[in-house]
C-alpha cells in the first residue's frame, strides 16, 4: 500500500500543512477555545442572575414571617448585600398586596413578590409574582432559606429538638469510591468526569476539523487541476493514501500536543491538585486514546476525501458531508450522556457499534475499568471497519477526482463502487 511515491505524497502533505498558519493557529487556539467555552458558561451564569434583586416576602401568618426573617437575614447573600428582602403579612387576601405593589413590579423597583401561605407547611408550595416569573437563577438562591424555614416550622409542631431539625435539613451526601482489580480503593472525585468531557470534545472537534480540511483540500486540488499534475507522477490510490496518512500524522501530532498537559499531570507529582479533581488515568489510557484516534482519523479522513472527490465546489460538498457529521455528532452526545451511567445499555451497545465505538469506548474507559476483552473487541471492530472502508473510498476517489462539470447523482457514485480497483 505504501511505496516510494506514497511516501513522497505524505512528505508533501507534511510540508504543506505542518508549517501552515492554520495548523499553528488551531494547535494554539483549540485549548484556548476550550477554556473560553468554560469561561463563557461561567460568565453567562453570573450574568443570568440579577445584580441586586429586591424581593418582598409575604407570609400568611406571623409565625411563618418570623422564621423567614431569621433565615433570610442570617443568610450569606443578604449579609453580603447581593440580595435585598423585605417582609410583610397579608393574611388570606394576597390580592390587596399585589394591587398595592404592582406599580413597583412594573417599573422594576421590586424584582418579585414571594407569597408563603400556611398550606406550604404541608405541601411546600409557594407563589412567585413578577414580570419575570421564570427566573430559575433567583429561585435557586432563595429556595434553601425558605425550605429551612418550612422544615423548622414543620418539626417544631412535633416537639422535636433543634438537633433533630438540623438533621432533617441536611441533604444526603454521597461519596463515590472506585473499586478496581487493584488492591487500593480510591475516593472518586470530579477528575474523571472532566476527562470524559475533555477527551470526548477533543475527538469530536478534531475529527470534524481534520475531515473538513481534507475535503476542502481535495475540492481545491480538483478545481485548480493540480490533481492532474499529481496523477502524472502517482496513481490515484497512492495519492489518496499519501493524503490520508499525511493528514493523519499531522493531526495525531497535534492531539499529542493538546494532551501534553494531561500527560504531565497524570505522570508526575509536580503539581498539587485537589483530591476531588485528580484523574485516575494512566499513560496506557493515553496511548490507547491516541491509537484509537489514529484509526478514527484514517477512517473519517478517507470518507471526507471521497466526498471531496465527488463534488466540484465546497457548497455542493456540504450536502454530502452531513451523514459523516452525524456519524461523529451522535456518538459525541452518547459519550456526554455517560456521566449519568457509563454502564447503561446504550453505552455498552454504542461502544461496540461501528463508528460510534471510536468515541464512546474511550469515554467509557475514562469513567470505569472496562474489561480488556471488551476493549479488544471494540478495537478489532474499528480496525475492520477502517480496512473495509479504505478500498471503497479508493474507488470513489479514483473515479470522482477526474470528473468535473455536472454534479453526479448518488446512484452514479454507487456504480463507481462496482469498478475494479
The domains of the chain are located at 4-35+189-416, 53-173
Give me the helices (H) in 272-337, please.
283-310, 314-337
109-118, 146-155, 224-233, 332-341: the lowest-pLDDT one: 224-233
Residue 326 has pLDDT above 70, yes or no: yes
Confidence at residue 102, expressed as pLDDT on a 0 to 100 scale: 87
CB atoms within 10 A of CB 335: 29
Residue 293 has pLDDT above 90, yes or no: yes
Whole-number average pLDDT of the chain: 79
- The confidence band for 298, taking pLDDT boundaries of 50, 70 and 90, is very high
**Distance of alpha carbon 351 from alpha carbon 345, whole angstroms:** 10
61-70, 130-139, 163-172, 338-347: the lowest-pLDDT one: 163-172
CB 355 within 8 A of CB 361: no
Average pLDDT on 176-188 reads: 52
- The confidence band for 385, taking pLDDT boundaries of 50, 70 and 90, is very high
Is the pTM higher than 0.85?
A: no
Percent of the chain at pLDDT above 70? 76
Residues forming beta bridges with residue 19, ordered by sequence position? none
CB 328 within 8 A of CB 359: yes
**Cβ burial 303-329 (10 Å sphere, 16+ → b, else e):** bbbbbbbbbbeeeebeebbeebeebbe
Average pLDDT on 204-209 reads: 90
Helix (H) or strand (E) holding 389: helix 372-400
Burial degree of 249 (CB within 10 A; 0-12, 13-18, 19+): middle
Residue 375 has pLDDT above 70, yes or no: yes
Residue range 77-115, pLDDT digits in tens: 888 888 888 888 887 778 888 888 888 888 888 888 888
DSSP for 22-33 reads: HHHHHHHHHHHH
- The confidence band for 195, taking pLDDT boundaries of 50, 70 and 90, is confident
- The confidence band for 407, taking pLDDT boundaries of 50, 70 and 90, is confident
132-136, 303-307, 308-312, 409-413: the lowest-pLDDT one: 409-413
Provide the sign of the torsion angle of the four alpha carbons 342, 365, 380, 202, taken in this order.
Answer: positive
**Distance of alpha carbon 362 from alpha carbon 288, whole angstroms:** 8
User: Regarding predicted confidence, which is higher, 231 or 397?
Assistant: 397
Confidence at residue 37, expressed as pLDDT on a 0 to 100 scale: 61
Q: What is the dihedral of CA 307, 305, 359, 257, to 10 degrees?
A: -140
Residue 390 has pLDDT above 90, yes or no: no
User: Regarding predicted confidence, which is higher, 81 or 335?
Assistant: 335
Residue range 114-167, pLDDT digits in tens: 888 888 888 888 888 888 777 777 888 888 888 888 887 877 766 666 676 666
**Distance of alpha carbon 410 from alpha carbon 403, whole angstroms:** 14
CB 68 within 8 A of CB 116: yes
Confidence at residue 276, expressed as pLDDT on a 0 to 100 scale: 58
DSSP for 107-173 reads: TTSS-EEEEE-TTHHHH---EEESSSTT-HHHHHHHHHHHHHHHHHHHHHTTT--HHHHHHHHSPP-
Burial degree of 205 (CB within 10 A; 0-12, 13-18, 19+): middle
Residue 357 has pLDDT above 90, yes or no: yes
Confidence at residue 383, expressed as pLDDT on a 0 to 100 scale: 94
Confidence at residue 308, expressed as pLDDT on a 0 to 100 scale: 84
Average pLDDT on 340-363 reads: 89
- The confidence band for 41, taking pLDDT boundaries of 50, 70 and 90, is low
The architecture in CATH of the region 53-173 reads: 3-Layer(aba) Sandwich (3.40)
Residues forming beta bridges with residue 113, ordered by sequence position? 56, 129
CB 182 within 8 A of CB 191: no
CB 244 within 8 A of CB 302: yes
**Distance of alpha carbon 105 from alpha carbon 98, whole angstroms:** 9
Residue 186 has pLDDT above 70, yes or no: no
Which residue reads 426573617 in cell numbers?
69
Residue 184 has pLDDT above 70, yes or no: no
Residue 252 has pLDDT above 80, yes or no: yes
Confidence at residue 288, expressed as pLDDT on a 0 to 100 scale: 92
First to last CA, the chain: 13
Confidence at residue 110, expressed as pLDDT on a 0 to 100 scale: 87
Residue 20 has pLDDT above 60, yes or no: yes
Residue 177 has pLDDT above 70, yes or no: no
Residue 231 has pLDDT above 70, yes or no: no
Amino acid at each position: 500500500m505504501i511505496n516510494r511515491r506514497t511516501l513522497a505524497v505524505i512528505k508533501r502533505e507534511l510540508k504543506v500543512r505542518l508549517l501552515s498558519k492554520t495548523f499553528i493557529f488551531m494547535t494554539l487556539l483549540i485549548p484556548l477555545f476550550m477554556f473560553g467555552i468554560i469561561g463563557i458558561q461561567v460568565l453567562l451564569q453570573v450574568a443570568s442572575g440579577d445584580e441586586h434583586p429586591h424581593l418582598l416576602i409575604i407570609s400568611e401568618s406571623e409565625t411563618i414571617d418570623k422564621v423567614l426573617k431569621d433565615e433570610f437575614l442570617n443568610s450569606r447573600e443578604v449579609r453580603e448585600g447581593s440580595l435585598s428582602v423585605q417582609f410583610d403579612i397579608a393574611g388570606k387576601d394576597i390580592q390587596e398586596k399585589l394591587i398595592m405593589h404592582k406599580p413597583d413590579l412594573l417599573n422594576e423597583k421590586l424584582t418579585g413578590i414571594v407569597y408563603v401561605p400556611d398550606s406550604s407547611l404541608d405541601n411546600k408550595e409557594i407563589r412567585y409574582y413578577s414580570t419575570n416569573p421564570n427566573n430559575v437563577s433567583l429561585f435557586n438562591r432563595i429556595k434553601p432559606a425558605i425550605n429551612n424555614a418550612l422544615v423548622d416550622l414543620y418539626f417544631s409542631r412535633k416537639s422535636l429538638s433543634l438537633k433533630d431539625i438540623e438533621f432533617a435539613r441536611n441533604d444526603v451526601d454521597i461519596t463515590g469510591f472506585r473499586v478496581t482489580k487493584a488492591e487500593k480503593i480510591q475516593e472518586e472525585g470530579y477528575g474523571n468526569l472532566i476527562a470524559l468531557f475533555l477527551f470526548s470534545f477533543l475527538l469530536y472537534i478534531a475529527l470534524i476539523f481534520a475531515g473538513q480540511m481534507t475535503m476542502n483540500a481535495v475540492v481545491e486540488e480538483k478545481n485548480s487541476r493540480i490533481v492532474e499534475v499529481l496523477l502524472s507522477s502517482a496513481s490515484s490510490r497512492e495519492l489518496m493514501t499519501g493524503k490520508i496518512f499525511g493528514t493523519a500524522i499531522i493531526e495525531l501530532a497535534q492531539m499529542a500536543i493538546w494532551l501534553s498537559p494531561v500527560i504531565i499531570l497524570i505522570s508526575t507529582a509536580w503539581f498539587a491538585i485537589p483530591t476531588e479533581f485528580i484523574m485516575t488515568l494512566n499513560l496506557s489510557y493515553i496511548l490507547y486514546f491516541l491509537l484509537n484516534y489514529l484509526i478514527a482519523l484514517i477512517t473519517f479522513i478517507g470518507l471526507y476525501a471521497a466526498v471531496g472527490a465527488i463534488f466540484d465546489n465546497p457548497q455542493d460538498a456540504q450536502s454530502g458531508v452531513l451523514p459523516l457529521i452525524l456519524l461523529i455528532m451522535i456518538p459525541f452526545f452518547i459519550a456526554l450522556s455517560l456521566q449519568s451511567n457509563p454502564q447503561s445499555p446504550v453505552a455498552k451497545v454504542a461502544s461496540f457499534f461501528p463508528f460510534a465505538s471510536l468515541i464512546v469506548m474511550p469515554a467509557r474507559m475514562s469513567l470505569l475499568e472496562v474489561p480488556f476483552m471488551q476493549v479488544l473487541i471494540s478495537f478489532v471492530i474499528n480496525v475492520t471497519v477502517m480496512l473495509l472502508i479504505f478500498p471503497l473510498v479508493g474507488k470513489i476517489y479514483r473515479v470522482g477526482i477526474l470528473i468535473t462539470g455536472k454534479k453526479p447523482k448518488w446512484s452514479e457514485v454507487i456504480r463507481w463502487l462496482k469498478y475494479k480497483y
